Amino acid sequence: MKELNDYVRTIPDFPEPGIMFRDITTILQDADGFELAVDSMIDCIKDLDFDVFVLAESRGFIFGSAMAYKLHKPIVLVRKKGKLPCETISQEYELEYGTAVLEMHTDSITKGQRVVIIDDLIATGGTIKATCQLVERLGGEVASIVAVMELCGLKGRKKLEGYRVDTVLKYEGK
């Protein structure tokens, strides 16, 4: 039986020399790989009591939707600025070169709700940290952060200190 790591394609020197790009599209292209990823992520939170999944754009939508379906939980979307149609709150965060903004509908989380945040990757931690801040500004509590993989060399977990963080795969490099 294959392990989840067997479904990840590694592309050396992309997008620049010295980077080992971990491509998750090969997980998605194989039904067994996708099922294994979703089931492994669910295993990370099997002990948790929570109310809702918060999904980070865009690959968090893929994994989190499947998880929500299997666990019969609602989902909330966190999108890039200008993509949500109703009243939103915004959170700016730092990128490697510059800043970006994430938004969430103001009525998507109610005070006291326990949420699990889902994304495909934890790299520098900026996207997930901004998502946590949005949830907390609406009165929600981050019960856990779950991602398919973590690039440990980028130290995103440090930015997420104080939160429960679970990843299925860990890679030491960048």
Confidence of residue 75 (pLDDT cuts 50, 70, 90): very high
Are 89 and 106 spatial neighbours (Cβ–Cβ below 8 Å)? yes
| Residue 97, pLDDT above cutoff 80 | no
Give pTM, 2 decimals: 0.95
State mean pLDDT over 45-67.
Answer: 97
* Side chain identity at residue 162, one-letter code: G
Confidence of residue 40 (pLDDT cuts 50, 70, 90): very high
Which of helix, strand or coil describes residue 122? strand
Q: Are strands 88-95 and 114-122 parallel, antiparallel or unpaired?
A: unpaired
| Residue 18, pLDDT above cutoff 90 | no
Q: Which of 110, 133, 112 is nearest to 56 (CA)?
A: 133
pLDDT in tens, 164-173: 999 999 999 7
